Amino acid sequence: MAWGALKRICGSTDDRNENKHRLVCSFPEDVEFAERLRSYKGNQIRTSKYTWLSFLPKNLFEQMHRFANIYFLFICALNFVPIVNAFQPAIAVLPLAVVMSITAVTNLWEDYRRQRSDRRINSLLCEVYDR
């Protein structure tokens, strides 16, 4: 933002500060500027993939992009066809369910650790240096 625009926003008419790099002003009554500030995102770090609502759909979507899981799902589906089935269909689903459950639990644990790390980093105090 240009210096003139900042002076207009702050309501400053003082030209002595034009050579400084920093402008500090408060906007308790400027509603328009406060609304503009609220529209910007914060600088918080978020490296986690999932939320509590999106975990199951996103995790299943990611797991179904692995060739081995698609293959075993196909074998399970074939086992439900009476002509082709080799053993009970419920037994065919068991290995796939176990592998996908273990993978989901490990993904959940990793994402929990990422969220915990994000909270720790976002709560740190920062020092800002101006030139």
CB 61 within 8 A of CB 103: no
The tens digit of pLDDT for each residue in 54-91 reads 999 999 999 999 999 999 999 899 888 888 877 787 88
Other Cβ atoms within 10 Å of 92 Cβ, number: 20
Is the predicted pLDDT of residue 26 greater than 60, yes or no? no
Tokens of 123: 């709560």
95, 102 Cβ separation under 8 angstroms: no
Q: What is the pLDDT of residues 31-41, one digit of tens each?
A: 776 777 677 77
Contact 23, 10 (CB under 8 A): yes
In 3-state terms, what secondary structure has residue 44? coil
Alpha carbons within 13 angstroms on the beta-carbon side of residue 22 total 5
User: What is the structure's pLDDT at 20?
Assistant: 43
Provide the mean pLDDT of the chain. Answer: 77
Per cent of the chain over pLDDT 90 is 33
Q: Is 29 exposed, middle or buried, given 0-12, 13-18 or 19+ CB atoms closer than 10 A?
A: exposed
Distances (CA, A) of 70 to 79, 93, 108, 120, 125: 14, 12, 21, 38, 47
Q: Break the chain into its structural domains and give their ranges.
A: 3-39, 55-122
